Amino acid sequence: MPRFILRRAYFATLTILLVSIVVYGVFSILPFDPAALTCGQKCTPAIVEANRVKLGFDKPLWQQYWLFLSGIFLGRTYGAGSAEFTCPAPSFGYSFNENMCVTDMLAEALPVTINLAIGAFVIWITVGVGLGLLAAKFRGRYPDTISSVFVLLGTSLPTFVTGLFFLIYVTIKWKIVPLSLEGFTPITESPVKYLQYFILPWLTLAILYAAFYTRFTRATVLETLGEDYIRTARAKGLSERVVLLKHTMRAALAPITTSAGLDIAGLIGGAIITESIFNLAGLGRMTLQAVYEFDLSVVVATTILAATVVITMNLIVDIAYGYLDPRVRMK
Amino acid sequence: MRKNAISTRVLAALSAGALVSTVITVGATSTANAATPKAGGTLYFLEHTPRLDHYDPSRIYTGRDLAFMNSFHTRTLVAYNPVPGEKGTTLVPDLATNTGVPSNEAKTWKFTLRPGSTFEDGKAITCEDVKYGTSRVFATDVINDGPAYLQSWLDIPKNADGTSTYTGPYKNTPAGVAAFNKAVTCKGSTITFNLNKSIADFNYLATYGVISPVQKKLDTGDKYDLNPQATGPYKIVENSATQLRLVRNTKWKKSSDPVRTPYPDEVIIQFGLDEEVIDQIMLEDTIPNAVNFGGPLPTNRDKFFKDAKFADRRMNNSDPYARYLAFNLVKMPCLEIRQAMYYARDAKALLDYAGGPDYAGSYATGVISPLLATDFEATKVVGPSDYKNTADVIDATTGFKPSGNVAKAQAYMDAAKTKCPADYKKATETGIVIDGRPSASDNDTIPINVAAYARVGIKISYNLIKSGYYPTVMDATKQSDLSTSGWGADWANASTVIPELFTTAGGFNLSQNSKDPAYKAFEDKVNLAMKTTDRKKQAALWKELDKEAMKNFWVLPTLFGKAQEIWGSAVQNVFFWVPQGNLAYGKLWINQ
Amino acid sequence: MVSKLKSANASAAGQIISRSPRQIAWRRFRRNKVGMVSAGISIVVLMLSLFAPVVCKILGINPDELNLDLIDSSGIPTLPNGGISREHPLGLTPGIGRDLLANLLYGSRISFLVAFLTTGLAIFIGLIVGIVGGYFRGRIDDYLGRFTDFLLAFPAFFMIVALSEPMVARIQETGIAQGNSARVIFLIFFLSFFGWPGFSRLVRSQVLSLRERDFVTAAQAMGASRKRIIFKELMPNLWAPVIVVVSLSLPGYLAAEAVFSFLGIGIQPPATTWGILLDNARRFVTVYPNFFLITAGSLVLVVLAFNLVGDALRDALDPRSER
């Protein structure tokens, strides 16, 4: 088992490194001059050149990458003379639009995104698995019909349509959930403000995912119910509830965990639409803003971070799968 | 130059307004003006953008942000008097005890600092701090975006490419430092600026943060932008993606500041709110102690301005910007094509789209806004002869018709066909490319323009630049055929308009007009005007120059704009403050 | 699973009328009323979009015509119901008063173009890589598998958003295309670039199981060429899963195009797409909710219809699926 984990971890690290090289390379060969964008209106070639040096864009690509990589572990110094300053390790670069070390920006944005992802996850897993189980248990009867309508709507409503609908109607027009002015408030500080900030974004994301999970759970459970060991369990006279919740769910758990892990990872890097509609100051909105402003260091950092989360989650899911489904370990 | 980066909405409105020939301001002043101001409470500003461009005093250049920071946070040597009406444009001493003493034909300017003023950490403000603050803008690789007048005016030798030999406090040469130390000197609490030419209105520049105290040991270069040391009655305690929070600066003393009257306990700018949400908050008065920092959405203007219950909570003013499209003369050398583009444009449809004369303003007659009362006169070359006239008729003198003088435009196109066939071919076949900033209203105005130009066979397309708009179009290699733009005077003199926009030395010349046959004579006249100390004679020259620039169609003037302001019911003492065209933020108080 | 269908059919052939798997699937599909209705809607929408110029001509509407006189100073149509009338069946867009129906029709063309080409390209690459990997196995499969895994590790949506502006600038610089053409190319290329690994995994697993089947082994034993096995034995058995995936991913790409326009990094005005219309709708929703409801409703309707067709197809083609 430890060898299996080590091997996976080794490959995951390798992939992260490779992804970072590709991302860095792709963004660095792009056809515009990031140095020119840091320059005001009376921009002379001399100033652009000075900025290029300051940002390290004058160096060959591999050196730039090396500086970036070593910055993650050692921190990085920018500027010269008395305007010199350091972004301490782990440094993901410096944003000249925001005048901030990218790491500090990430530290501000990540809690929002993680709270968004986890809250949405709790809702969708409860609703999705619950509805899926119900649908499987009452197959062909009205809970099944309701759930299939939900699945259809949920999978067909693009998040930006649901999101806009919530924002415009629920918040602006009907005022059911008043607008959150405070911005992100940790739950420990004020649960009400926390909820006010997150509830609609959560629902927006959860509707889509819950629909997928309903469909998924239902299919898995139905498939398992046909297995021999379930028949055995029933023959033993176990109650239907025990059969459903203990024996069937156990089998369905592994595939659900797998997709859940990957979906959460995807959300941390990909809630761009939800975050920008609801103005949540998370990773997605930050990236979108950076894209609009050609803030390369931010874009590179967030992309690599998102990839890292996906890869790490893959790893965790792989390992967890090994525990949940012993057959995998044997291979 | 305050570029009107401020509100994209204002810019996008692409219309211009006209005001009364003196300084405007109409609209409501709060009825509670008479009441005694109360201290306390929190004053909210609700803002759509994710942050202000800059907070570092050396880097702020956007009119509204300047007015905001100078009202609360940053003190300058002299300040505009925060009172309603034209008196608001007069200078009063702030950190200095006077408004500047010129000598040597206004080539030398002296300011004496007021005793007792301190930074937020309690350190007394000295002449050396002001000198240090002044030096920062020379470090153009770190301190960018601010006004660049100091670099061209201070008596410091220049390199061949026009840059200063002094490169700021961070990284420099001994020769550069010596030159700067000669140009700016401190003697006791008196700071002296030695200029390379006579600048009669140099003290107006001292209202900008580029001449303001900064402590050398606390200067963090680029990062200073995040939390500059306060010298005014409020200091920054939070600067995040959601808000800028200012609280009282306990080290500030009323006795040392004749200008500011800090009423609220806290001032907060709430960033990143949906514009529709902000308007709803205002309509419902959910947060009575809030000001809509960006003005209402066009879709909601009628709700505020046609309903008497908002009478005390709204304002509709001319703004100080003239909007135009700058022709890139390198790519558009044919005068006839430029003329055709002016006359074919459907200015009426665009003005109506932007809200009509009530909300959007009136047709521009040049680049000098009527708010610059001394220097303004309708050019009678473009636009209506009476700049306030918005009727859709052909103007007898200029031939301008708001909905487009298609016949005249067509005549120019026909002339261009023989005179400059290559340019004609480009206009009618390849198409003319216009730089613009993407905004919701562009989705709509683009089709209006496409249809209008199609009437004379001109094809147009747009190059929408999302970010770094001005730096991009300022780059001659990246600028398209026309660039959408707007400009407001830095202070009440067209010396901050005409030279900036149309000479090679100017900071905002988007016309690339140095090769135009008319350029040389134009530049000579500008130099003459700059030297002219008789304000009346100078004004006459600016009027002529405005006219000449229009005759040459270096720009396509569009609008003199208008802007609307909305605030909550608890916000008191609201009035329009002329210099930067905003509310006098520092005078607001909360009725609790 | 499809091959199972084949053998089941063969055994039944002697007793009843012989039907090809295609016929069976078609019969099953026809019995699904929801599927039929959705297919009808999908086809009608596609036709309307394809023949938008003709349709607009017949209805007498023009997507570019501005009706500025019918718009008030707030940008709202002055006529009741947002101008819904015989001349403008779905009313006018706020701001400049273009015909909403005409704009939806023309807008859908770009959206469909992106969706179809993306799906096509992704399937094409996925098929090749999947077949090669699944058929040859061994080291080739290993490398291809690593590569697909690697691509799947990228946060795709994130990358596309991040790359949009710079890559479009790059495309324009090379002179391949300008403006919106460059944006369409970018979207198609990158959506399919990050989309094919999914297809290739599916195809590979199908091929892996197919090549163990008797009929493939038999063909190999008879000395059939590799080309023949791939094209005559494997490919015909892949069309069913492929068609299901296509019908399910089309609406996804359709919505994706709208999302990118909505975020301001997709197609730019003056072109119209559903994303641009929705972005506009957002500004006017409190004063002119019809606009939002009609535009969002149209998008949801089309996505829903395509999804239902996809579901019905799957049911028809895969008898084991439980729905």
Per-residue pLDDT at C75: 76
Output b/e per residue, C49-86; b: 16+ Cβ within 10 A: beebeebbeebebebeebbbebbebbbbbebeebbbee
Report CA-CA distances (Å) from B170 to A85, A316, B140, B532: 12, 48, 11, 37
Per-residue pLDDT at B19: 25
Four-point Cα dihedral C222, C228, C229, C230, nearest 10: 170
Which residues make Cβ contacts (< 8 Å) with residue B84, sequence separation at least 6? B25, B29, B575, B576, B577, B584
pLDDT above 90: residue B378? yes
φ, ψ dihedrals at A260, nearest 5°: -60, -45
Smallest CA–CA distance, residue C21 to chain A, in Å, is 24
Residue B368 vs residue C28, higher pLDDT: B368
Using alpha carbons, select from B109, B115, B73 the residue that is nearest to residue B97: B115
Using alpha carbons only, how large is chain C's radius of gyration in Å?
24
Using alpha carbons only, how large is chain A's radius of gyration in Å?
24
Inter-axis angle of helices C100-136 and C52-59, to 10 degrees? Answer: 160
Q: What is the pLDDT confidence band of residue B14, given thresholds at 50, 70 and 90?
A: very low
CB atoms within 10 A of CB B158: 13
Predicted confidence (pLDDT) per residue in B277-320, tens digit: 888 889 888 889 999 998 898 888 888 998 999 999 999 988 88
Q: Can you tell me whether residue B409 is helix, strand or coil? A: helix
Closest-CA residue of B relative to A180 is: B273
Predicted confidence (pLDDT) per residue in B554-571, tens digit: 999 999 989 899 999 999
Output b/e per residue, C229-244; b: 16+ Cβ within 10 A: bbeebbeebbebbbbb
A41, A96, A109 ranked by CB distance to B474: nearest:
A41
Residue B550 vs residue B197, higher pLDDT: B550
Mean pLDDT of C295-320: 82
pLDDT above 60: residue C323? no
CB atoms within 10 A of CB C6: 14
Per-residue pLDDT at B15: 26
Smallest CA–CA distance, residue B34 to chain C, in Å, is 34
Per-residue pLDDT at B154: 93
The beta strand positions in chain A, using DSSP E, are 76-78, 85-87, 94-95, 100-101
Residue B363 vs residue A182, higher pLDDT: B363
Residue B178 vs residue A318, higher pLDDT: B178
Q: What is the pLDDT confidence band of residue C55, given thresholds at 50, 70 and 90?
A: confident
Domains in chain A, please, with CATH?
Answer: 2-101 (no CATH), 103-329 (1.10.3720.10)
Smallest CA–CA distance, residue C182 to chain A, in Å, is 15
Residue A176 near chain B (CB below 8 Å)? no
Per-residue pLDDT at B5: 38
Q: Where are the domains of chain C?
A: 39-67+92-317
For the question of an ipTM over 0.85, the answer is: no
Please tell me the least confidently modeled range out of B111-125, B271-285, C14-28.
C14-28
Residue C212 vs residue B19, higher pLDDT: C212
Predicted confidence (pLDDT) per residue in B190-239, tens digit: 999 999 988 888 999 999 999 999 999 999 888 898 889 999 999 999 98
Identify all chain C residues contacting B451, using CB atoms and an 8 Å cutoff. 64, 66
Please answer yes or no on whether B438 and C264 come within 8 Å at the CB atom.
yes
CB atoms within 10 A of CB B536: 9
Per-residue pLDDT at B302: 87
Residue C280 near chain B (CB below 8 Å)? yes
Please tell me the least confidently modeled range out of B491-495, C165-169, C273-277, C296-300.
C165-169
Residue B500 vs residue A171, higher pLDDT: B500
A15, A30, A157 ranked by CB distance to C300: nearest:
A157
Smallest CA–CA distance, residue A259 to chain C, in Å, is 14
The span from the first CA to the last CA of chain A, in angstroms, equals 11
Peptide bond before A90: cis, by omega within 30 degrees of 0? yes
pLDDT above 50: residue B172? yes
Instruction: Give dist(CA B15, CA B10) in Å, integer.
Output: 9
Q: Can you tell me whether residue A189 is helix, strand or coil? A: coil
pLDDT above 70: residue B99? yes
Are C100 and C293 contacting, i.e. CB atoms less than 8 angstroms apart?
A: no
Are C171 and C182 contacting, i.e. CB atoms less than 8 angstroms apart?
A: yes
Q: Can you tell me whether residue A6 is helix, strand or coil? A: helix
Please answer yes or no on whether A27 and C308 come within 8 Å at the CB atom.
no
Please answer yes or no on whether C263 and A273 come within 8 Å at the CB atom.
yes
Please answer yes or no on whether A50 and B272 come within 8 Å at the CB atom.
no
Using alpha carbons only, how large is chain B's radius of gyration in Å?
24
Residue A28 near chain B (CB below 8 Å)? no
CATH number listed for the domain at residues C39-67+92-317: 1.10.3720.10
Per-residue pLDDT at A285: 85
| Sign of the CA dihedral running A274, A279, A282, A288 | positive
Mean pLDDT of B428-441: 84
Instruction: Give dist(CA A43, CA A24) in Å, integer.
Output: 27
Q: In DSSP terms, which residues pair with B571 in a beta bridge?
A: B590
Mean pLDDT of C257-284: 82
Q: Can you tell me whether residue B590 is helix, strand or coil? A: strand
Closest-CA residue of B relative to C71 is: B353
CB pairs under 8 A between A and B: 126
The beta strand positions in B249-358, using DSSP E, are 266-270, 290-292, 314-327
Residue B118 vs residue A221, higher pLDDT: B118
pLDDT above 60: residue C65? yes
Residues in chain A with pLDDT < 70? Answer: 1, 29-48, 51, 80, 83, 180-182, 269-270, 324-331
Backbone torsion region of residue A42, taken as left when φ is above 0, otherwise alpha when ψ lies between -120 and 50, otherwise beta:
beta
C66, C179, C283 ranked by CB distance to B299: nearest:
C283
Subunits with 3+ C-beta pairs closer than 8 A to A: B, C
Per-residue pLDDT at A269: 66
Q: What is the pLDDT confidence band of residue B468, given thresholds at 50, 70 and 90?
A: low
Smallest CA–CA distance, residue C323 to chain A, in Å, is 8
Per-residue pLDDT at C320: 53
Subunits with 3+ C-beta pairs closer than 8 A to C: A, B
Predicted confidence (pLDDT) per residue in B15-46, tens digit: 222 222 233 333 444 444 457 888 999 999 99
Instruction: Give dist(CA B206, CA B147) in Å, integer.
Output: 11
Report CA-CA distances (Å) from C19 to B500, B585, C11, C25, C319: 82, 82, 11, 10, 15
Are C93 and C291 contacting, i.e. CB atoms less than 8 angstroms apart?
A: yes
φ, ψ dihedrals at C32, nearest 5°: -85, 100
Using alpha carbons, select from B335, B278, B369 the residue that is nearest to residue B580: B369
Q: What is the pLDDT confidence band of residue B79, given thresholds at 50, 70 and 90?
A: very high
